[in-house]
């Protein structure tokens, strides 16, 4: 379209399955990005020389690993607020019938399917929510539940949603819709957490996942299950006291509980993640050569929930005193005697501390 490149700087895609559900992406909560901590659509900005269609095809591949046969234009949206790229967002529509939990999480926290009714209980990105409502309102019954274009392969067929009816376009206001609740697809180690692992300073390029042979079957065929990988710091001072942080009560994970310094891997090793998080969250300088593996906790919050592998590393030496550098996540750092750990504490953190105390390297919870 003539002049489109000068007005469209970002792209997004409505991915719809045969049940009329939409694939949503939970964005990082504590990163300098637009609409943090909200459920939104797959998408991103155009790179130099790309058309919007080329950009969304690339974003789909990079963020989900999907290569879909057809990705067709639907509407345009606008977003405003901190860290928003100026210009319009071109929204496409595509069809896929796969399992959201099998998608690689290369950015943000997780993917999940939701129907429109459930979205009213989520903390949604405004422009994404309005685009979904516009698509839902204009679609016929057949378009809401298109039969699969063949097989379970990622490259399923796509149905176009058509244009936006008069008066149902996406508004110019962006940001976070108030009144969101706990995400129903959340899995984690303690009640109250939505979906982010402990102390998440979650990934911009790549939140780490690990594939295990954890049992899951489809029509009797065994397949691997994605496991979220968390990295945690175990520090013990000369008095034998252990460093724990008090989570902010409004934190999306373990609000008000005591926990390790922790986070998600970006495109980096687990030890590199630990070193980075220690400086970002507490101002502690740690050299990779002073870090050793201490314990692992493999857990699920509920039967059928997403498995999580929590790695705990011990630093024998460090520089600096713990500082509260991310007050929206942590209210205080404090050293605790092993026999006087605080309450409430994240259960798997206590399990890891107990394991380290007796020289045990591995624990399981929730299985």
What CATH number does the domain containing 257 carry?
Answer: 3.90.79.10
- 34 conformational bin, left if phi > 0, alpha if psi -120 to 50, beta if neither: beta
Q: Average of pLDDT values for 252-256?
A: 82
Asked if the structure places residue 184 within a domain, the reply is: no
How many whole angstroms from its chain centre is CA 298?
A: 19
Q: Check: CB of residue 143 under 8 Å from CB of residue 206.
A: no
Please give the tally of structural domains in the chain.
2
Say whether both 262 and 355 belong to one domain.
Answer: yes
Tell me how long the chain is: 367
At residue 348, does pLDDT exceed 90? yes
Identify the pLDDT of residue 344. 94
Asked if the structure places residue 235 within a domain, the reply is: yes
Say whether both 214 and 354 belong to one domain.
Answer: yes
Asked if the structure places residue 167 within a domain, the reply is: no
* pTM recorded for the entire structure: 0.46
Q: Is 36 helix (H, G, I), strand (E, B) or coil?
A: coil
| pLDDT tens profile 16-43 | 999 999 999 999 888 888 888 999 999 9
Q: Average of pLDDT values for 342-347?
A: 95
Say whether both 136 and 250 belong to one domain.
Answer: no
Residue recorded with tokens 């180690």: 189
Average model confidence (pLDDT) across the chain: 78
- The band of 139, judged by pLDDT with boundaries at 50, 70 and 90, is low
- Of residues 337 and 176, more confidence is placed in 337
Q: Average of pLDDT values for 49-58?
A: 92
Identify the pLDDT of residue 206. 34
- What are φ and ψ of residue 282, in 5° steps? -135, 0
Asked if the structure places residue 101 within a domain, the reply is: yes
**Residue where a domain terminates, one of 102, 124, 144:** 144
Bridge partners of 292, per DSSP, are 314
**Residue where a domain terminates, one of 91, 111, 144:** 144
At residue 112, does pLDDT exceed 50? yes
- The band of 100, judged by pLDDT with boundaries at 50, 70 and 90, is very high
**Residue where a domain terminates, one of 144, 178, 197:** 144
Q: Is 98 helix (H, G, I), strand (E, B) or coil?
A: coil
Say whether both 134 and 279 belong to one domain.
Answer: no
Q: Is 261 helix (H, G, I), strand (E, B) or coil?
A: strand
| pLDDT tens profile 183-227 | 333 333 333 333 333 333 333 333 344 443 334 444 444 456 778
Highest mean pLDDT among 76-85, 170-179, 344-353: 344-353
> Measured between alpha carbons, how far is 118 from 121 in angstroms, rounded to an integer?
6
- Residues 280, 281, 282, 288: is their CA dihedral positive or negative? negative
Residue recorded with tokens 């390297």: 361
Identify the pLDDT of residue 204. 32
Asked if the structure places residue 152 within a domain, the reply is: no
How many whole angstroms from its chain centre is CA 29?
A: 8
Percent of the chain with pLDDT over 70: 72
Say whether both 213 and 361 belong to one domain.
Answer: yes
Q: Is 237 helix (H, G, I), strand (E, B) or coil?
A: coil
Asked if the structure places residue 195 within a domain, the reply is: no
Q: Can you give the residue range of the structural domain that contains 253?
A: 209-365
Asked if the structure places residue 155 within a domain, the reply is: no
Kind of pairing, strands 8-16 and 88-95?
A: parallel
Say whether both 38 and 133 belong to one domain.
Answer: yes
- The band of 7, judged by pLDDT with boundaries at 50, 70 and 90, is low
Asked if the structure places residue 105 within a domain, the reply is: yes
Say whether both 138 and 217 belong to one domain.
Answer: no
- Residues 16, 17, 20, 26: is their CA dihedral positive or negative? negative
């Amino acid at each position: 379209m003539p002049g489109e490149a000068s007005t469209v700087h970002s792209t997004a895609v409505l991915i719809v399955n045969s049940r009329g559900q939409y694939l949503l992406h939970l964005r990082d909560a504590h990163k300098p990005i637009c609409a943090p901590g909200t459920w939104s659509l797959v998408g991103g900005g155009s790179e130099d020389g790309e058309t919007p269609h080329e950009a969304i095809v690339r974003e789909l591949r990079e963020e989900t690993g999907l290569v879909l046969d057809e990705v067709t234009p639907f509407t345009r949206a606008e977003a405003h607020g901190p860290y928003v790229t100026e210009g319009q967002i071109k929204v496409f529509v595509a069809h896929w019938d796969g399992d959201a939990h099998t998608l690689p999480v290369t950015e943000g926290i997780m993917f999940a399917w939701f129907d429109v009714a459930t979205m009213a209980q989520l903390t949604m990105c405004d422009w994404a929510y309005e685009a979904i409502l516009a698509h839902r309102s204009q679609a016929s019954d057949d378009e809401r539940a298109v039969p699969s274009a063949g097989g379970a392969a990622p490259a399923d067929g796509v149905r176009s949603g058509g244009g936006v009816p008069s008066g149902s376009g996406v508004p110019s206001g962006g940001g976070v819709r108030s009144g969101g609740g706990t995400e129903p697809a959340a899995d984690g180690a303690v009640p109250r957490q939505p979906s982010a692992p402990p102390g998440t300073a979650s990934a911009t390029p790549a939140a780490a996942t690990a594939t295990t042979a954890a049992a899951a079957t489809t029509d009797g065929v065994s397949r691997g299950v994605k496991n979220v990988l968390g990295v945690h710091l175990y520090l013990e001072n000369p008095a034998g006291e252990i460093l724990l942080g008090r989570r902010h009560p409004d934190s999306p994970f373990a609000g008000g509980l005591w926990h390790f310094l922790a986070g998600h891997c970006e495109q980096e090793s687990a030890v590199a993640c630990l070193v980075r998080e220690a400086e970002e969250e507490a101002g502690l300088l740690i050299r990779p050569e002073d870090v050793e593996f201490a314990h692992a906790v493999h857990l699920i919050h509920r039967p059928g929930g997403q498995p999580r592998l929590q790695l705990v590393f011990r630093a024998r030496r460090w520089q600096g005193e713990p500082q509260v550098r991310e007050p929206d996540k942590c209210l205080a750092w404090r050293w605790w005697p092993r026999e006087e750990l605080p309450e409430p504490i994240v259960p798997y953190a206590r399990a890891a501390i107990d394991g380290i105390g007796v020289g045990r390297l591995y624990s399981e919870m929730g299985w």
